[in-house]
Amino acid sequence: MHPALRVLRCPVCAAPLADGPGGVRCGAGHSFDVERSGYLNLRTGRARRVAGDTAEMISAREAFLGRGHYAPLTARLSQLALARPGGEPPGDETASGADAGAEHRGIGPAELVLEIGAGTAHHLAAVVDARPNRLGLAMDVSKSALRRAARAHPRVGAVAFDVAGGWPLPDASVDILLDVFAPRNLPEMHRLLRPGGTLLLVTPGEDHLAELREVLGLVGIHPGKRARLEAELAGRFTRRTSEALTRTLHLGADELVELALMGPIGHHADAAELRHRLGAVLPPDGSGMDVTASFVIDRAEMAAG
Ligand SMILES: C[S@@+](CC[C@H](N)C(=O)[O-])C[C@H]1O[C@@H](n2cnc3c(N)ncnc32)[C@H](O)[C@@H]1O
Ligand SMILES: [Zn+2]
């Protein structure tokens, strides 16, 4: 079992998991596969079958992120994840945020970073890489995403699990929790974060991809969504900050298709259809166009012990 996976619990009976034939099993005999591509499948037969992003969407995401267009977001997340509870500056590189009481997690004093709806684990790999004592756990339901996440970084393990249910991890087991443009589950986030732990939540800003909204038929950011998020955070977390990160990206036709495909419209339209639609806004001389990328990063902390 990958060291990061040792924190996981049986999704049926919540007992610890140990290596078994072809996968892992709990003391009560519930067994789960480690897929050939390296991720642990903790989805049970009873679970609703949500498939997540398709292979084409995940390839597009991998290509687009690989070009570095969202590098400022990844860098800012890594920086925010280094801040100490209460906003103090980062301590020395070897310090662990985990206390002795965290031994129940089965991963020793390592700092555990969990990304839910992790996709290719692009952001998670960078956050984990920032400190040598960090382990990362990428959770998603998309097979294509999990295959990439499992090899995103040597200290990142990948697990198939639906964000909507109860998560197969013990209370207060996670030091840093990331949710970037992914479904969220605030009650579980609150249960899993240890005292002093940090939640980093990224949602689209109001002007995100504004130039493409009409041609791709993207829905605008509903103002009610922000209020709902504020309400979900309030009462659960002690200290909250919110910051905007906006960049203008100059993109060619291929990059625009990738960017479109990796979003929700990728569930309804393929590359050929999107290329056709984008032809309506792209200058014919092949010079590309400017597109606004806009993120809101919410940082929330659990009350320390
Ligand atoms: C917009 S992508 C974001 C991926 C990654 N966080 C990033 O920023 O590159 C959303 C991800 O959430 C996953 N997802 C969708 N529904 C899910 C669910 N119910 N449980 C777990 N993951 C889910 C998708 O498969 C997809 O990889
Ligand atoms: Zn079990």
What pLDDT sits at residue 103?
A: 66
In a domain, 96, yes or no: no
Tell me, in angstroms, the distance from the centre of ligand 1 to residue 52's CA: 6
On whether residue 130 sits in a domain, the answer given is yes
| Range in 6-10, 93-97, 196-200 the model is least confident about | 93-97
pLDDT at 227: 87
Residue 114 alpha carbon to ligand 1 centre in Å: 13
Which of 140, 143, 178, 180, when mutated, tests ligand 1's pocket best, judged by the most ligand atoms within 8 Å of its CB? 140
Do 185 and 206 touch, CB atoms closer than 8 A?
Answer: no
Q: Which of 139, 141, 259 to mutate to test the pocket of ligand 1 (most atoms within 8 A of CB)?
A: 141
Average pLDDT for 245-264:
96
Domain assignment present for 97: no
Distances (CA, A) of 72 to 43, 75, 77, 167: 34, 5, 9, 30
For the record, the structure tokens of 254 come out as 């291929």
- Ligand 1 centre to CA of 53 (Å) is 7
* Mean pLDDT for all residues in the chain: 90
Give residue 162 CA to ligand 1 midpoint distance, Å: 10
Confidence (pTM): 0.93
Instruction: Give percent above pLDDT 70 in the chain.
Output: 91
* Exposed e or buried b per residue across 269-300, where buried means at least 16 C-beta atoms within 10 angstroms of its C-beta: bebeebbebbeeebeeeeebbebbbbbbbbbb
pLDDT digits (tens, 9 = 90+) for 29-75: 999 999 999 999 999 876 678 889 999 999 999 999 999 999 999 99
Nearest to 212 by CA among 268, 247, 246, 263: 263
Is 95 a domain residue? Answer: no
State pLDDT tens for residues 118-129: 999 999 999 999
CATH classification of the domain holding 147: 3.40.50.150
Contacts 24+ apart (CB under 8 A), 154-157: 155/3, 155/4, 155/128, 155/129, 156/4, 156/121, 156/124, 156/125, 156/128, 157/2, 157/3, 157/4, 157/5, 157/39, 157/40
Of 15-29, 77-91, 211-225, the range with the lowest mean pLDDT is 77-91
| 222 domain-assigned | yes
pLDDT digit string, tens, across residues 140-184:
999 999 999 999 999 999 999 999 989 999 999 999 999 999 999
User: Residue 35 corresponds to which tokens in the numbers above?
Assistant: 């897929």
Domain holding 153, by residue range, is 3-90+102-301
Flag whether pLDDT at 83 surpasses 50.
Answer: yes
Q: What are phi and psi of 209, to 5 degrees?
A: 55, 30
Q: How many domains does the chain have?
A: 1
Rounded Cα–Cα distance for residues 139 and 135 (Å): 13
Residues with CB under 6 A from ligand 1: 50, 52-53, 61, 117-119, 122-123, 140-142, 145, 162-164, 180-183
Smallest CA separation from ligand 1 atom 17, residue: 52
